[in-house]
Chain A
Amino acid sequence: MSDAIAADHFSHHIRRYLFVFYALLFGTLITVGASYIPFGHRAVNIGVALIIACGKAFLVAGYFMHLISERKMIYGVLAFTAFFFVGLMFLTVWATHDFPSTSVVH
């Protein structure tokens, strides 16, 4: 592929990368701004921040890491990873009920 053709082929990719970059910056500002809004319960603030973080993570993984158009094998590896990661988080959330009702504070 000649340099000119290669550059032309990649120009739309570059526009997409720049769009993702601006979206990530915007997402960061939204995350910080939302943390100052009292939603009534801190759990809501946590939920909002994590939803925005998941959106940003999707942009990075999907476009910068090209997971939007990757080979099946990579998806297979990541499916296993996601299964065990989600399992780990669920086990953690369930295990929180094992805590004693009063903690010792030094």
Chain B
Amino acid sequence: MDIPYTVQPRQDTGLYNAKVGIWLFLASEVMLFGALFSSYILLRVGAQEGYWPHGWLNIPVGTANTVVLITSSITTVMAWASCKMNQFGKFKLYHACTILLAMTFVGIKSYEYHDKFTHYSIKLADGQIADGHLVEKSPDFDMVKKTGSITIHGHVVNLLNKQGPELQNELKKLYDLRSPEGRAIEHVELKYTAPQIASLETYGPWHNTYTAIYFTLTGLHALHVIGGALVIGFLWGPGSKLWKTDPERFTNRIEVSGLFWHFVDLVWIFLFPVLYLL
């Protein structure tokens, strides 16, 4: 038995069923990301003055990834338009670009994640904070046994016995890297033995509420990119056989997968300024 309304629109909705389905799904996705955006607002507004990070992410890299995703959106819509114009070869070309751009986006995002997982915040035994990227850990480095050493490329911040404007200025060296104080930081190579260190952690999701919401939002978005790329990859590869037997149905599949892809782009349009710029 054939599945009804894969091509012909239903009389009551005026749409083929998959289109109704994808829009209902996207509506639920709006609420999913909406809940996370509202969490972001609560965390940001609730943060103590001077402690919400600003400038922790690489703006040129984020901008490049935005351009990659926008470009993938135009290749997606062009792939669909090519199907509509009965130009299967062009469809293949455009969607090959989409898949490559999706892989580029995930690659750049992985680079950014790696940067955060090698960025250390070290609370020293004397109460100061050393902050910077890992250069090397000695093979015997162990915080439990208190052996070995760690070297980072960074700077030291002293928040002890500081209050008011003095504390705020010092905090900017750690949290507001786009401020004059943050930009004036000079990074040097710093080496500490384990006994000199009270505790240390990377800038992973566990570091603070900013990194927690950053990894949650961008991680969920990246999963959507990967999921969308897999579907588009299937339709570009083995799924494209349908073009020979039922081109209209295949074109509708391309439209539905494209709607999802544009939604992923749309989410990033808000994520980029919120996380990178503001």
List residues of A whose CB falls within 8 A of some B CB: 3, 6-7, 10, 13-14, 17-18, 20-21, 24-25, 28, 31-32, 35, 42, 45-46, 49-50, 52-53, 56-57, 60-61, 64-65, 71-74, 77-78, 80-81, 84-85, 88-89, 91-93, 95-96, 99, 102-103, 105
Q: Does more than half of chain B's interface fall in helix, strand or loop, or is it mixed?
A: helix
List residues of B whose CB falls within 8 A of some A CB: 13-15, 19-20, 23-24, 27, 30-31, 34-35, 37-38, 41-42, 45-48, 51, 59, 63, 66-67, 70-71, 73-74, 76-78, 81, 84-87, 258-259, 262-263, 265-266, 269-270, 272-274, 277-278
Q: Out of B24, B74, B85, B259, which one reaches A18, CB within 8 Å?
A: B74
Question: Is A13's CB under 8 angstroms from B87's CB?
Answer: no
Question: Is B48's CB under 8 angstroms from A102's CB?
Answer: yes
Question: Is B70's CB under 8 angstroms from A28's CB?
Answer: yes
A102 and B265 CA atoms in complex are apart in Å by 38
A residues near B73, Cβ cutoff 8 Å:
21, 24, 60, 64
Q: Out of B27, B59, B269, which one reaches A56, CB within 8 Å?
A: B269
Q: Out of A3, A17, A52, which one reaches B78, CB within 8 Å?
A: A17
Question: Is A49's CB under 8 angstroms from B74's CB?
Answer: no
Question: Is A57's CB under 8 angstroms from B270's CB?
Answer: yes
Question: Is A71's CB under 8 angstroms from B259's CB?
Answer: no
Question: Is A35's CB under 8 angstroms from B46's CB?
Answer: no
Q: Out of B41, B67, B259, B274, which one reaches A96, CB within 8 Å?
A: B41
Question: Is B66's CB under 8 angstroms from A28's CB?
Answer: yes
* With A6-B85, A78-B27, A85-B31 as contacts: A73 and B70 at CB distance below 8 Å: no
Question: Is A89's CB under 8 angstroms from B38's CB?
Answer: yes
A93 and B24 CA atoms in complex are apart in Å by 27
Question: Is B15's CB under 8 angstroms from A85's CB?
Answer: no
Q: Which residue of A lies closest to B255 (CB)?
A: A66
Question: Is B48's CB under 8 angstroms from A25's CB?
Answer: no
